[in-house]
């Protein structure tokens, strides 16, 4: 369980909605994942059409929608998309994505910080996709972002937690939820992120590109549950969970105590 803005979420898995073979497959997969928050690209939606092939099934499922600004290369474009999304989807939650590099879809830290600053002022709950840069994450938190979403590896790359050392610093320093977004290729990657103390992970390609997306969504759901449970109850090899400083006794500590 964790909280973004004033909303409590029970699932630690967020899902992306691109890359699925059909609306039906998307629906079944979202259900199997247990997710309560799904992101969708505003540019993909046909807002003039009543039964959009992505939007309509998600609205029926009743999951919370997190529109994203993918396609935007600048802060101005992202802000424009955000306003459109707020009006069309009746939500002030926003996943801010600005990637000017279409090859690896790397987020632009400068434009992202600029847009986040403005969007928070305009009343949005901003969840920015960003590089795994501890200072940038603090800066995003400082301007009022409701969470930070650093990348584990390039989007869609399945490489897992390549930015591990930086993610550890980000999690250690954060006062808002840290959601590891992008690059996770296997349930074990998601589990590891949660064991480390991430509040959640966001997955799309690893589920949508699996041979059986529905079963893979279930696997990610279980992995996230396992990771969160492990984190909560004190991992033996990680020095205990947050707030717990119990250290096992040993002959050396007995010697020190006797001094």
Partner 1 sequence: MTPDFYALWQQQDWHDVQMHSMAFKREDVEVALHKAQRSISHNSQLKLTDFQALLSPAAEPLLVELATTAQQLTRQRFGHTQQLFAPLYLSNLCANECSYCGFSMSQKVKRRVLTAAETEQECQALKNMGIDQVLVVTGEHERKVGMPYFRQMLPLIRRYFSSVMLEVQPLHQADYVELRQLGVDAVMVYQESYHQPSYQHYHLKGQKADIRWRLECPDRLGQAGVDKIGLGVLFGLANWRTDATFLAMHLLYMQQRYWRSRYSLSVPRIRPCSGGIEVQHPLQDKHFVQLICAFRLLSPSLEISLSTRERAGLRDQLVPIAITSSSAGSSTRPGGYAVDPEALEQFSIDDNRSPVQYQQRLQQLGLAPVLKDWDLYLGRET
Instruction: Among 8, 51, 87, 103, indicate the residue that binds partner 1 (CB under 8 A).
Output: 103
- Residue 150's DSSP bridge partners are 130
Per CB under 8 A, does 10 bind partner 1?
no
Q: Which residue in the block uniquely carries the two structure tokens 């959640």?
A: 200
> How many binding residues for partner 1 (CB under 8 A)?
37
Quick one: tokens of 69? 């600004």
Per CB under 8 A, does 80 bind partner 1?
yes
CB atoms closer than 10 angstroms to residue 222: 15
DSSP characters over 76-120: HHHHHHHHHHHHHH---EEEE-----TTT----HHHHHHHHHHHH
Give the alpha-carbon dihedral of 183, 169, 172, 140, to 10 degrees.
-70
Q: For the chain, percent helix, then strand, then coil, each to nearest 5? A: 40, 15, 40
Compute the least distance from the CB of residue 32 to partner 1, in Å.
Answer: 17
**What residues from 203 to 232 belong to the interface with partner 1 (CB under 8 A)?**
205, 208-209
Window contacting partner 1 (CB under 8 A); options: 2-10, 27-35, 70-78, 116-124: 70-78
Phi, psi of 242 (to 5 degrees): -55, 135
Q: Which of 31, 43, 95, 238 is catalytic?
A: 95
Window contacting partner 1 (CB under 8 A); options: 6-14, 41-49, 140-148, 190-198: 41-49
Q: If you ran DSSP here, which 8-state letter would residue 28 be given?
A: H
182 is in an annotated binding site: yes
Per CB under 8 A, does 157 bind partner 1?
yes
Residue 95 annotated to the active site: yes
**What residues from 13 to 32 belong to the interface with partner 1 (CB under 8 A)?**
18-23, 25
| Beta strand spans in the chain (E) | 2-4, 7-9, 13-16, 37-41, 64-68, 93-96, 125-130, 149-150, 179-181, 200-203
Window contacting partner 1 (CB under 8 A); options: 79-87, 126-134, 140-148, 246-254: 79-87
Kindly list the residues in this chain that would bind partner 1 in the complex (CB under 8 A).
Answer: 18-23, 25, 41-46, 53, 71-74, 76-77, 80-81, 84, 100-104, 154, 156-159, 185, 205, 208-209
- Residue numbers belonging to the annotated binding site for 1-deoxy-D-xylulose 5-phosphate: 156, 182-183, 204-205
Give the residue numbers annotated as catalytic, written as ranges: 95
């Amino acid at each position: 369980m964790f909280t973004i803005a004033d909303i409590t979420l029970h699932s630690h898995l967020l899902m992306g909605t691109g890359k699925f073979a059909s609306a039906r497959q998307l629906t079944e997969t979202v259900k199997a994942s247990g997710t309560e928050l799904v992101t969708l690209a505003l540019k993909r939606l046909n807002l003039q059409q009543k039964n959009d092939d992505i939007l309509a099934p998600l609205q029926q499922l009743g999951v919370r929608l997190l529109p994203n600004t993918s396609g935007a290369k600048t802060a101005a474009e992202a802000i424009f998309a955000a306003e459109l999304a707020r009006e069309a989807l009746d939500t002030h939650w926003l996943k801010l994505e600005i990637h000017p590099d279409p090859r690896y879809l790397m987020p632009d830290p400068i434009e992202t910080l600029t847009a986040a600053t403005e969007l928070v002022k305009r009343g949005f709950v901003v969840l920015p996709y960003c590089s795994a840069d501890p200072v940038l994450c603090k800066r995003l938190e400082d301007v009022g972002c409701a969470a930070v979403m650093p990348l584990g590896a390039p989007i869609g790359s399945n490489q897992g937690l390549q930015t591990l050392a930086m993610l550890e610093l980000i999690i250690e320093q954060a006062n808002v939820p840290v959601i590891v977004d992008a690059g996770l290729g296997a349930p074990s990657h998601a589990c590891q992120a949660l064991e480390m103390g991430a509040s959640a992970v966001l997955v799309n390609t690893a589920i949508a590109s699996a041979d059986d997306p529905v079963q893979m969504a279930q696997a990610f759901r279980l992995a996230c549950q396992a990771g969160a449970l492990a984190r909560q109850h004190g991992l033996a090899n990680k020095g205990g969970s947050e707030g717990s400083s119990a250290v096992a006794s040993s002959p050396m500590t007995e010697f020190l105590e006797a001094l």
